Structure formats: structure tokens, C-alpha cells
Amino acid sequence: MRAFFRWVAVVIVVSGVTGCTSISYYAQSMKGHLQIMTARKDVGKLIEDPSTPKALRARMESASAIRQFATDELALPDNNSYRSYVDIGRDSVTWAVFAAPEFSLTPRTWCFPVFGCVPYRGYFSKKSANETAVELQGQGMDVYVTGITAYSTLGWSSDPLLSTMLGQDETYLAGLVFHELAHQRVYVHDDSAFNEAFAVAVETTGVRKWLRAAGDTAALRRYEAARRRKAEFLALVSQTRDELRQVYSSSGTSEQKLAAKTAAIERLRMRYRHMRDRRWGRYRGYDAWFDAPINNAKLAATAVYGEQVPAFLHLFDLCSGDYPRFYASVRRVGVLDKAYRAEALKTADTCD
């Protein structure tokens, strides 16, 4: 899943405590977030400071330009988010735990005040995430744990750039910043699939606009090639989910369903290898995802962060690439009842 999460940069919510959320979970969330917030350094000052390492200064200059582009060209919030920096000293800022029943693709959700319900639980400690995974597995659930590069508080605090966000090139960083700021522009409670697909649409269109403005045609070609691979990856996974839905809704025994589930996942791996070797020129960026265990939780997580993206991109085109109009249209769809929201988005034929 690591390669997939490079595209979508999954949001981990720092939340309040409720009756269903333990005090210890609340404490680790707040402690982890506050440690990051108190370590922030102003990007502008890092650029000006002669003691700042040359490589870091260059990344901060690029990040500053990307942040300003987000406001000036994408109509994203003009606030203090991503105008500071923290070196967190590890590869992931948080770890997300996804869970789903053994014979279902419907992910378990956890609900929090302000932010609503989400299909994962986030931890600043990998050990705590793994402990939760073991507990859920003990309940018979399929579980998937993955490291996360960036998270958002939806504008409730001034989220900083993180060292985890600088692990790849400028295009990757731009995508993360645009994605996370999009969550501050529009956020619909209890609908992660809607929120994430919207943010990916802003990320995608924003990166394209950024690269065109920079005149970097080579980077744009690489980006579009990566987008096509991602779409093909998502289509493969979607096909397997469809197969598994039929298996799980059948009248077979648990043993029969488990055998059919195992066979469907192996067919997914086989189809991937064929596509990789025949269509992708042996590009291996998704190998880690397929080499690791695949279960319902992992398949469900992939669906949350990908299925509705084409509908949002179509709506963006209907809005003639006008970001304020696009955001207003997304808000109008977002206030619809959840039962009709996805269909309304899919069948939209006008921006207004």
C-alpha cells in the first residue's frame, strides 16, 4: 500500500475523546500532535538562515513557492498551514489501522467529535497501532496497518510541512500540499470516500497546473504516466472486490468462502504481474503492495481513496477548471443525503 499512499496521502485525524474512544487513545493523539506543533520552524526563517543546510534551504524555497501557488492559483486557504517545518526523525508521521470482517468489504469505522466517522484509526506510535491490530485480529477481523506521510487537522491548527513529505521530488510535495489544503476547503462529515476523492481531484488538477506553469514537460509526462498506472491499479483491485462481493453474498460455507477469497486474491496478484510485465515495462512501484498480505481491510482502504476520483475530475471539467466554482459545486453535492451523494456526483452534467 505504500506506493498507493504516495498518491493520496491518507488524512489521519487528531480527535477529541468520546465514550467510544479511550482516554489513552486521546492522550497519545494529543501528545503526538503537540510534539510536532511545538517543534515547528518558520519556513521563511529557514530560507534566510545561513546555517540552514543548502539542500534543506532548496526544499524550503520550493515548498514556499508551492504553498503560494496553492493560494494564488488553486484558491486554497491562505493561512499558516504548511508555512512551517518539522523534522520528525522517522519515515512515517502516523500509522493507520484499517479493519474489515473476514467476509465483508465494509470497513469498520471510528467516530470522533468535530471530524465525524472515518474508516481507520490513527496512531503516532507504530507499537500502539500494531497492538490495536492484534486486538482486532483477535476479534476475527482482517486488519491492515500502514505508515502515513502527512495528516491534516482540517485547519483547526496550522499544520506544518514534515520531513516525511520531502522524501520524493517536487511533484510529490506539491501533490501533498494541495491534497491536504483541499481538506480545509471542503470536508463532509462521515464520508471519507467523498472527502478523499475530492482532495485527490484537487491534488491531480493542481499538480498538472503547477507543472505546466513551471514549463516542466518532462515531469508532467512522468506524472501523467503515473496517473495512468494508478488508474489501472485501481481497476484491478475493483475487479477483485466485485468478485469477492459475490463470494461473500453467496450461500457457501465459511470454508468455501475462504477458499474462494484466497483464489480471488491470487488471481489479483497474477493479473498484476501480467499488467506490470506487459503494459508497464516492468515498472515495479506497486510490487511492495502486492508482495505483502492482501485482505479485506487492505482492499477496502484502497476503495476509500480512489473510486470517486473520476467523478470529481469530470465535475471539475464541467466547471471549466474554475476552482471557486468547483468548490461551490462540491459543497452543494456534499450537503445531499449520503445515500444520494455519490450518484449525484457521478451523474452531474453541470457545474451549477
Listed by start position, the domains of the chain span 2-219
CA 248 to each of CA 193, 234, 264: distance values in angstroms, whole numbers, following the listed order: 22, 21, 12
Specify the pLDDT at position 114: 67
For residue 290, name the pLDDT band (cuts at 50, 70, 90): very high
Specify the pLDDT at position 345: 95
C-alpha neighbours within 13 Å on the C-beta side of residue 117 = 8
* Residue (of 249, 343, 220, 61) closest to 52 by Cα position: 61
Give the mean pLDDT of 88-117.
Answer: 91
CB burial of residue 291 (10 Å; 0-12, 13-18, 19+)? exposed
CB 1 within 8 A of CB 298: yes
For residue 26, name the pLDDT band (cuts at 50, 70, 90): confident
Specify the pLDDT at position 112: 77
Write out the chain in H/E/C secondary structure: CHHHHHHHCCCCCCCCCCCCCCHHHHHHHHHHHHHHHHCCEEHHHHHHCCCCCHHHHHHHHHHHHHHHHHHHHHCCCCCCCCCEEECCCCCCCEEEEEEEECCCCCCCCEEECCCEEECCEEECCHHHHHHHHHHHHHCCEEEEEEEECCCCCCCCCCCCEEHHHHCCCHHHHHHHHHHHHHHHHCCCCCCHHHHHHHHHHHHHHHHHHHHHHHCCHHHHHHHHHHHHHHHHHHHHHHHHHHHHHHHHCCCCCHHHHHHHHHHHHHHHHHHHHHHHHHHCCCCCCCHHHHHCCCCHHHHHHHHHCCCCHHHHHHHHHHCCCCHHHHHHHHHHHHCCCHHHHHHHHHCCCCCC
Q: Report whether pLDDT(3) > 60.
A: no
CB 56 within 8 A of CB 130: no
Residues 6+ apart with CB under 8 A from 274: none
The two beta strands, 110-112 and 116-118, are antiparallel
Q: Report whether pLDDT(10) > 70.
A: no
Helix axes 192-214, 170-185, angle to 10 degrees: 130
Rounded-to-integer distance, Cα 64 and Cα 47, Å: 9
Specify the pLDDT at position 9: 32
Least confident range of 43-47, 206-210, 279-283, 285-289: 279-283
Quick one: what percent of the chain has pLDDT higher than 90? Answer: 81
Mean pLDDT of the chain: 91
Which long-range CB contacts under 8 A does 242-245 form with residues at least 24 apart? 243/267, 244/105, 244/296, 244/299, 245/105
Rounded-to-integer distance, Cα 146 and Cα 156, Å: 25
Specify the pLDDT at position 13: 39
